Chain A
């Protein structure tokens, strides 16, 4: 089953608002990743974090690797309609083992 606790499960926001979602784990990870999945598609990587405390941006997206290595957050600023989708956090401990959260479903109202 899922080992990562991702919250919130869903969000309904107005276009232009900022969004914040996070992921926690009882286990430490060496890498944290954030993916977006559109309906009928596979997950697409948004941001990868490789060091505890690292803060990384990709356009309007900002993510941080928690210093305890057990948590991460993703912020989306000034949301737009195409931000709609399901966002997943994922943690990697070793090369072949990547665990996913249950996802945050984002709806953006124009």
Chain B
């Protein structure tokens, strides 16, 4: 597609429910990133993929968070047993490669509210 596409745009989950957030990166982009953005804050790094390989997951806040990109394009961020502190915008981003000169393009985000 023309840009990074994320779905759902908005999700309300009851505490304890599992959620799955999907990211379609720009076609041909090798690198894919997930960020979490709390209200009034800047995005915080969660995890990074190069093709299907998850090279860095140091930003995942707990073992309830899991991300995958099995075929090297679409990625899913899964949050198990959601808690209220998980309420945030989850941003997906992609770039052609991981090199410094490659622009990282962000999607519009998936807004998660845990009630």
Contacts and interface: CB of A to CB of B under 8 A. Distances in A.
Interface of A: 1-2, 4, 6, 30-31, 35, 40-45, 48, 50, 88, 90, 92, 95-103
A42 B98 contact: no
Interface stretch (B11-19, B36-44, B63-71, B73-81): B36-44
Given A40-B108, A97-B56, A45 B103 contact: yes
A98 B93 CA distance: 11
Interface of B: 4, 31, 33, 35, 40-45, 48, 50, 55-56, 91, 93, 98-101, 103-109
13 contacts: A2-B42, A42-B4, A42-B91, A42-B106, A42-B107, A42-B109, A45-B104, A95-B100, A97-B48, A98-B104, A100-B43, A103-B41, A103-B42
